[in-house]
Amino acid sequence: MYLHAQARATADRIISEWGFTAVLRRTSGDRACEAALVDFSPRERDGQLIQAVDRRFILKATGLTVPPYQEVDKFVRTDPDTSAEEVLRIVAPPGKLEHQGRVVYWTIQCRP
């Protein structure tokens, strides 16, 4: 329980300090979410599944009633300076940290 509470607190702190509002877009409509960009470690980048242009985001699970799904969702973020939308493909199955069946946060790997 303690590790999950600590992980949630860390994710919430990262999202509140460095995060932004984004959208998970599918043909049935957009779903707003709170997200933050987090780096891959050098060890994670060492393999061939993560390309140089890939980015990883953590998504706050609170308020996200439908989980992200790589087959139908795109991750859309808006540039705060230009208001231009950047649409990214989710290229790997979304990861999640959950405790007792409740999702603490989601992680997605995206590519332009």
Residue 23 maps to which CATH number?
A: 2.40.10
- DSSP conformation class of 18: H
Q: pLDDT confidence of 1, banded at 50, 70, 90?
A: low
Name the residue among 61, 44, 62 with its Cα closest to residue 109: 44
Tell me whether residue 2 is exposed, middle or buried, using C-beta atoms within 10 angstroms of its C-beta: 0 to 12, 13 to 18, 19 or more. exposed
Q: How far, in whole angstroms, is CA 27 from its chain's centroid? A: 19
User: Residues 14, 38: contact at Cβ < 8 Å?
Assistant: yes
Q: pLDDT confidence of 2, banded at 50, 70, 90?
A: low
In DSSP notation, 26-82 reads ETTEEEEEEEEEEPPPHHHHTSSSS-TT-EEEEEE-TT--S---TTT-EEEEE-TTT
Per-residue confidence (pLDDT) for residue 105, from 0 to 100: 92
The arithmetic mean of pLDDT across residues 67-94, rounded, is 94
Per-residue confidence (pLDDT) for residue 21, from 0 to 100: 93
Structural domain span for residue 82 = 2-111
Q: Measure the CA–CA gap between 71 and 112, rounded to whole angstroms.
A: 15
**What is the number of domains present in the chain?**
1
Torsion angle in degrees (nearest 10) through CA of 34, 10, 65, 37: 40
